[in-house]
């Protein structure tokens, strides 16, 4: 690409004079100020760098999580927000322990091959010597059921359910497959399995396994659960198809310690006209232990802080109260989201709107909405403001896990929706690092989030 | 992101049964086949890997360009396209020679600092010992003019025009700044400058300079022209602001050799009903010499081949003739694009539509159009087909450099428009490698391009 042959002579020409010529209003002026502030003097990218590089992984109950609480609290105080405070919440404290060991043993020829595994969050350990049993592959729960106790008893169940790459939206692929991670161990244990090995949640064929939450049912034996990379899953499956007995060995010494006191971190710009009408914008401060939690969800929390920072910086006095909330424990408990909603209920707070950014720090696509049709219609009136930034799609339902509990109070909920085709290469793996986040993409997300918060603050909902 | 709390319950649900429920038509069935074929069995990503890793850089006249012509010719023959042929064209042959040397010398304290520079494509060399002169900074041509001959004579002009990061579209930033690369040397020479140094064309602050085409005017002295990285530009500018005489040294031994015979590579599926109505889809096969030309424009050529491959693979018999064209010499001459249009004119070919992909292999945003309003309206009728893939924006004008010369014949032109916020980190630098391209993003682009070609082939324009 050398020339710009008639390139992008846009109907949304962005010179300062013609900006938003079509939906001309005083809102346009503020929106241009927001955009310029974040693109020229934005701080979310450098804040994310600090969170990733100086603090790092932040699993609930960990030292990293504690540091992240202290630092974000300090950060928002330094920005001079009207109120900055911690909201106490008890969180689970699961620890991985030393690096897991996984091996595949071909009984016929005696070959032993190491495979990378990682314990799923919440799993029990194997005993210290590890666990060794015949491995049996199933694609899904139907196949598991068909095999039944007779075939499953005493074995390790290998769930090899691949992402359906014909789905366009990455979260749709994830949504289909994730149950084999969250409940695979529990289901396998019903038939007497001794452990479960789940194909990693990604559409990419990589050597890196990804973790994520799993859960048990107290009435069913708790068996160890791990993930195997997609590449190793393909290899193992090919080997199993050749027939012959195959043993899987895993050693994990993860454990669940007693709950720990932690916090949601909350910053606030108090509304000047309707201080009791609260607009909450947030992401989750905790991350998995394997990486820096850059896209998941350092991006979302730093964008949420940026919303308040940029509005304050351009001198905007919000009509309604704006809150940036760094939720704790989205990944393995949702205790922070639950506690936030519980406190809101207790204090009879009136949340008129909440938005979450927890789908990656990628370029904007639009917003998902869970609210009444008339509120959706009101928001859709503002669509043309968002299109120049790439946020065109207002058709989908949804919001975010942390703000989900507010739905019981009838709060209109929204999710920031980025283009996350690249998400599942890095999701819940050691690759979710700061380097994977692009500055402009992160900033574009922060801009459209700030615009939305501004518009709701000004116009109500 | 752990859960999928009401996530993406889309109005465009992509289960095979409900696909395209809203714009139900036989087109929907073909579109679903195209999408599945490319997402499940797509070859553009692995073809791009071959082009980047087995062939590499492909500047016009180079061995790489020659190999790329031979390989893409072979590739399309192996796919069994109805016709595959080469279209001869003479191209410029500029070579960089050995790695350039750049230094900044502070006369007051005698310090000498190496800075990374690269010759701009088409530049003359310095003499073998290099060129040493006082450097003077200007932001733009206005400032150059104001300084005039008196201040410029005998000096090296340093154009320090930064990208305006308040622009949302990366190509808009580029469009404003690129003239200091293409014509900076010529303008500076008018005032007696002995060389020009241009700040690299990127909104990112990096240590890596980017190259690109520049041109001379035969009536003005030809002076050497190079680029300096944005980081070094910032540093040099800060030093110059301190005052005191500063010398810039550059050594480059690039040269322009005699023109070389090369080719556009053309593959064709012949139309079954209207074989004389031609639909051309293309990108440029040449790249700059510094990198693999993955995004620029290996992506575009491999997507263009994928359009024909996927349509053939699903058994589609096109009503109209479909051509994939790998244009030669977009980067420093546009000879391929000019020759293609000249031959079309000579042979009285009827090009009813042409599309180019040369804005990076990123996730789709939409299409730019240069055609009559009634044709735009016809295309906009199909918008709902493209939205699930993220291609919402049909508002902008434009097409692509290589197909531009067809406009003289009145051909309706279109550009594939991806989200290229990440483009100018890597554009025209050593970083434009295969690793920077995401498989799914590349495939999404190929899908929407194929869909568009299919719809025009079926319905005319």
Residues A348-364, mean pLDDT to the nearest whole number: 98
Distance from CA of B405 to the nearest CA of A (A): 10
Placement of tokens 């197909």 in the chain: B403
CA angle A219, A221, A227 (to 5 degrees): 120
| Residue B220 scores a pLDDT above 90 | yes
- Pick the residue of B4, B7, B9, B182 with the most A CBs within 10 A to test the interface with A by mutation: B7
* Burial class for B175, CB neighbours closer than 10 Å (0-12, 13-18, 19+): middle
Distance from CA of B247 to the nearest CA of A (A): 31
- Pick the residue of A7, A182, A393, A451 with the most B CBs within 10 A to test the interface with B by mutation: A7
Q: What is the pLDDT of residue B1?
A: 58
User: What is the ipTM metric for this complex?
Assistant: 0.94
Q: What is the pLDDT of residue A25?
A: 78
Instruction: Work out the angle between the directed axes of helices A299-313 and A439-459 (0-180°, nearest 10).
Output: 60
Distance CA A412, CA A377 (A): 12
With cut-offs at 50, 70 and 90, classify the pLDDT of residue B17: very low
With cut-offs at 50, 70 and 90, classify the pLDDT of residue B36: very high
Q: Which of A4, A6, A438 sits opposite B421 (nearest CB)?
A: A438
Average pLDDT, chain B: 95
* Three-state secondary-structure class, residue B15: coil
Nearest CA in chain B to A400: B5
Tokens standing for B60? 């016009």
Which residues in chain A touch residue B169, judged by CB atoms under 8 angstroms apart?
A: 8, 10, 14
With cut-offs at 50, 70 and 90, classify the pLDDT of residue A329: very high
Which residues in chain B touch residue A388, judged by CB atoms under 8 angstroms apart?
A: 168
Cβ contacts of residue B28 below 8 Å, gap of 6+?
B19, B20, B385
| Residue B453 scores a pLDDT above 50 | yes
B170 near B421, Cβ under 8 Å? yes
* Burial class for B86, CB neighbours closer than 10 Å (0-12, 13-18, 19+): middle
**What b-and-e string marks burial along A305-330, b requiring 16 or more CB atoms within 10 Å of the CB?**
bbbbbbbbbbebebbbbbbbbbbbbb
Which residues in chain B touch residue A204, judged by CB atoms under 8 angstroms apart?
A: 439
| Residue A10 scores a pLDDT above 60 | no
| Residue A6 scores a pLDDT above 90 | no
Backbone angles phi, psi at A94, to 5 degrees: -100, 135
Distance CA A213, CA B3 (A): 9
Placement of tokens 């180019």 in the chain: B356
Higher-pLDDT residue of B160 and B5 is: B160
Task: Report pLDDT digits (tens) over A83-94.
Answer: 999 999 999 999
Tokens standing for A422? 């690249």
| Active site annotation includes B330 | yes
Task: Report pLDDT digits (tens) over B326-359.
Answer: 999 999 999 999 999 999 999 999 999 999 999 9
Q: What is the pLDDT of residue B24?
A: 53
Tokens standing for B370? 């240069």
With cut-offs at 50, 70 and 90, classify the pLDDT of residue A1: low
Q: What is the pLDDT of residue A17?
A: 38
Distance CA A361, CA A363 (A): 7
Share of chain B above pLDDT 90, in %: 94
Task: Report pLDDT digits (tens) over A211-242.
Answer: 999 999 999 999 999 999 999 999 999 999 99
Tokens standing for A383? 């669509």
Separation in Å, CA B8 to CA A121, A398, B12: 25, 6, 9
Residues A279-288, mean pLDDT to the nearest whole number: 98
Share of chain A above pLDDT 90, in %: 94
* Three-state secondary-structure class, residue A374: helix
| Residue A13 scores a pLDDT above 50 | no
Nearest C-alpha neighbor of A345 from the set A356, A337, A355: A337
Which domains are assigned to chain A?
28-94+258-459 (3.40.630.10), 97-253 (3.50.30.30)
Higher-pLDDT residue of A101 and B10 is: A101
Residues A118-139, mean pLDDT to the nearest whole number: 98
Q: Does a cis peptide bond (omega within 30 degrees of 0) precede residue A121? A: no
For the whole model, what pTM was predicted? Answer: 0.94
């Amino acid at each position: 690409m050398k020339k710009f042959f008639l390139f992008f002579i846009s109907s949304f020409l962005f010179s300062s004079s013609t900006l938003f010529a079509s939906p001309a209003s005083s809102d346009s002026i503020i929106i241009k100020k927001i955009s310029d502030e974040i693109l020229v003097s934005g701080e979310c990218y450098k804040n994310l760098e600090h969170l990733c590089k100086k603090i790092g992984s932040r699993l609930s109950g960990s030292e990293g999580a504690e540091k992240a609480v202290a630092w974000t609290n300090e950060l928002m105080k330094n920005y001079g927000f009207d109120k900055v405070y911690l909201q106490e919440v008890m969180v689970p404290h699961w620890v991985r322990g030393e690096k897991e060991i996984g091996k595949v043993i071909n009984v016929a020829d005696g070959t032993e091959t190491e495979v990378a595994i990682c314990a799923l969050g919440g799993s029990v350990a194997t005993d210290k010597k590890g666990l060794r049993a015949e491995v049996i592959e199933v694609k899904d729960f139907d196949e598991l059921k068909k095999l039944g106790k007779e075939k499953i008893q005493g074995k390790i169940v290998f769930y090899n359910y691949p992402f359906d790459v014909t789905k366009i939206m990455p979260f749709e692929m994830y949504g289909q497959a994730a149950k084999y991670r969250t409940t695979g161990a529990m289901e396998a244990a019903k038939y007497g399995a001794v452990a479960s090995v789940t194909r990693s949640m990604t559409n990419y064929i990589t050597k890196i396994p990804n973790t994520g939450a799993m859960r048990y049912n107290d009435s069913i034996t708790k068996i160890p659960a791990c993930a195997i990379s997609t590449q190793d899953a393909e290899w193992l499956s090919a080997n199993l198809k050749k027939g012959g007995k195959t043993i899987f060995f895993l050693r994990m010494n993860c454990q669940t310690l007693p709950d720990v006191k932690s916090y949601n971190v909350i910053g606030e710009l108090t509304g000047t006209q309707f201080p009791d009408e609260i607009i909450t914008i947030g992401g989750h401060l905790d991350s998995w232990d394997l990486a820096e939690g850059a896209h998941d969800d350092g991006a979302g929390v730093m964008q949420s802080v940026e919303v308040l920072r940029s509005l304050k910086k351009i001198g905007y006095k919000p009509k309604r109260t704006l809150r940036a909330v760094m939720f704790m424990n989205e990944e393995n408990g949702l205790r922070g989201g639950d506690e936030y909603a519980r406190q809101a209920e207790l204090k009879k707070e009136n949340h008129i709107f909440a938005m979450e950014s927890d789908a990656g720090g990628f370029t904007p696509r639009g917003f998902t909405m869970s609210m009444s049709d008339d509120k959706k219609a009101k928001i859709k009136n503002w669509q043309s403001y968002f299109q120049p930034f790439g946020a065109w799609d207002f058709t989908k339902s949804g919001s975010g896990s942390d703000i989900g509990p507010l739905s019981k109070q009838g709060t209109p909920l929204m999710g920031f929706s980025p283009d996350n085709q690249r998400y599942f290469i890095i999701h819940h793996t050691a690759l979710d690092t700061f380097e994977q986040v692009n500055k402009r993409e992160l900033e574009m997300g922060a801009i459209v989030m700030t615009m939305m918060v501004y518009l709701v603050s000004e116009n109500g909902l």
